[in-house]
């Protein structure tokens, strides 16, 4: 590669996304002396749609559904154009969620088929992740882990068994047919019930397998 990788980490709350991202950060910094850039699924880089982003996520209704989806598409395009693409020649980019979580949200909250949501989100989004990791555990285990985190880590309208089970179903159905959703990039599913070191090792092996690691001098190969 003539640049560093764009990596996405997806999974239910409590699957270990933050732990994996921190592990990848340390490995890139320790082995290659390069600090990755972290981005979120929503980065508020388009001020014109900021209010639609907040209302659509935290107060979803049938009336604001389309505005929220359009706002997400605009924000992701701005993030790709202004943050991700300019950074890749100099450093890896690791996203805490990206497309898959949005497909699940619209399916669960608005009964909108993933292919429909995908089509609108990716209509003008031309930057594709090199690898999307999907961390998978049962909703019961994920919710138990999330409940033990400090701070405002859970939402009563989202972090409940029925919702999380449906979210996982979307993750599994979409990740099972990656060719139908090419903007996810290569998809690697990881059993997040394993210990943290094994999850990190599995992810690192996948990066190596797909030729996404730089050379040891720190320059992208």
At residue 191, the 3 state secondary structure works out as strand
pLDDT less than 70: residues of the chain: 148-155, 216-221
pLDDT at 150: 61
User: Of 53, 138, 135, 148, nearest to 102 (Cα)?
Assistant: 53
User: Of 78, 119, 93, 74, nearest to 7 (Cα)?
Assistant: 93
> What residue ranges define each of the domains in the chain, with the CATH number in brackets?
6-209 (3.40.50.300)
CB 10 within 8 A of CB 188: no
d(CA 54, CA 18): 22
CB 188 within 8 A of CB 11: no
pTM for the model stands at 0.92
CB 149 within 8 A of CB 208: no
- Strands annotated E in 26-119: 37-40, 93-96
User: Of 154, 167, 214, 170, nearest to 24 (Cα)?
Assistant: 214
pLDDT at 124: 93
Residue 6: strand pairing partners = 93
Give the count of beta carbons closer than 10 Å to the beta carbon of residue 114.
20
d(CA 108, CA 102): 10
122-178 tens-digit pLDDT: 999 999 999 999 999 999 998 888 776 665 556 677 888 999 999 999 999 999 999
pLDDT at 2: 86
* Phi–psi pair at 9, nearest 5 degrees: -120, 120
């Amino acid at each position: 590669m003539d640049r560093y990788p764009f990596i996405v980490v997806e999974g239910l709350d409590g699957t270990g996304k933050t732990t994996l991202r921190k592990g990848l950060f340390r490995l890139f910094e320790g082995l290659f002396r390069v600090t990755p850039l972290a981005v979120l699924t929503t980065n508020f880089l388009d001020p014109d749609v900021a209010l639609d982003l907040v209302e659509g996520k935290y107060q979803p209704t049938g009336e604001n559904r389309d505005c929220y989806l359009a706002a997400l598409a605009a924000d992701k395009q701005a993030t790709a154009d202004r943050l991700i693409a300019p950074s890749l020649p100099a450093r890896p980019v690791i996203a805490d969620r990206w497309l898959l979580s949005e497909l699940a949200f619209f399916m669960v909250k608005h009964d909108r088929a993933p292919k429909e949501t995908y089509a609108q989100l990716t209509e003008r989004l031309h930057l594709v992740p090199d690898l999307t990791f999907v961390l998978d555990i049962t909703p019961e285990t994920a919710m138990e882990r999330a409940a033990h985190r400090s701070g405002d880590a859970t939402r009563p309208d989202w972090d409940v068994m029925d919702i999380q089970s449906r979210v996982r179903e979307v993750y599994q159905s979409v990740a099972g047919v990656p060719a139908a959703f090419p903007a996810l990039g290569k998809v690697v599913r990881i059993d997040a019930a394993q210990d943290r070191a094994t999850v990190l090792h599995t992810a690192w092996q996948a990066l190596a397998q797909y030729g996404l690691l730089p050379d040891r001098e720190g320059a992208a190969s």
